[in-house]
Chains A and B, each alone.
Chain A
Amino acid sequence: QKEVEQNSGPLSVPEGAIASLNCTYSDRGSQSFFWYRQYSGKSPELIMFIYSNGDKEDGRFTAQLNKASQYVSLLIRDSQPSDSATYLCAVGPMDTGRRALTFGSGTRLQVQP
């Protein structure tokens, strides 16, 4: 069983729609949860992180965490063609940063103009 699972996609949504990206993880000890966006041939860039159950909003992005279900999601409102990329879910510990994140395989999002 993979530690962090994501649907590889592609997830195709029309411009202006809401894109919903999902992620499940197996380690109940995980304390920190991250969403990264990666364009082809580029390095991942942080979209947002979440530590507590519930929702966290930042602009057009909302991260949702449910630790009981070991589930984290990312909603992108008013999707734009520039949002087309691979979205990586990552989980990690709540510590001083001496342990690496564990990444899912990513979901490819295509926003159709």
Chain B
Amino acid sequence: GAVVSQHPSRVICKSGTSVKIECRSLDFQATTMFWYRQFPKQSLMLMATSNEGSKATYEQGVEKDKFLINHASLTLSTLTVTSAHPEDSSFYICSARDRGSGYTFGSGTRLTVV
């Protein structure tokens, strides 16, 4: 089946530093990648939609200068959390529409900002 590889799975960083999260579609081309954030005991909240070769579309309330998204190829999309603060600590998950009819999710990145 379709696989989206997400790295790192877990990261701890100091407040003020930046963290890059990568998502790769391993056996299909993902022209569109979706980035979600999930706080404990809450549902997935869409942050942004990235399209290969164009600027990402951000949801209302998501700072595009803080959450930088790059979708430079059909198989790679990255999310960079810039100048991270403790309130950015969350579970970040990417997702892409696969060749079937489902949306495949990456394994998620647990970000902890200390």
Q: In the complex, what distance in Å separates the CA atom of A6 from the CA atom of B49?
A: 24
Interface size on A, residues (CB 8 A): 25
Main secondary structure, interface of A, reads: loop
Q: Which residues of A contact B42 (CB under 8 A)?
A: 105
Of B60-68, B76-84, B94-102, the one touching chain A: B94-102
**Is B103 in contact with A43, judged by CB distance below 8 angstroms?**
no
**Is B104 in contact with A99, judged by CB distance below 8 angstroms?**
no
**A41-B110 contact, Cβ under 8 Å, with A98-B51, A101-B103:** yes
A9–chain B nearest beta-carbon distance, Å: 11
**Is B43 in contact with A88, judged by CB distance below 8 angstroms?**
yes
Interface members, chain B 31-70 (any A CB < 8 Å) = 31-32, 34, 36, 42-44, 46, 49, 51
Q: Which residues of B contact A41 (CB under 8 A)?
A: 91, 110
**Is A97 in contact with B103, judged by CB distance below 8 angstroms?**
yes
Please give the residue numbers on chain B whose beta carbons come within 8 Å of chain A beta carbons, in ascending order. Answer: 6, 31-32, 34, 36, 42-44, 46, 49, 51, 91, 93, 95-97, 101-108, 110
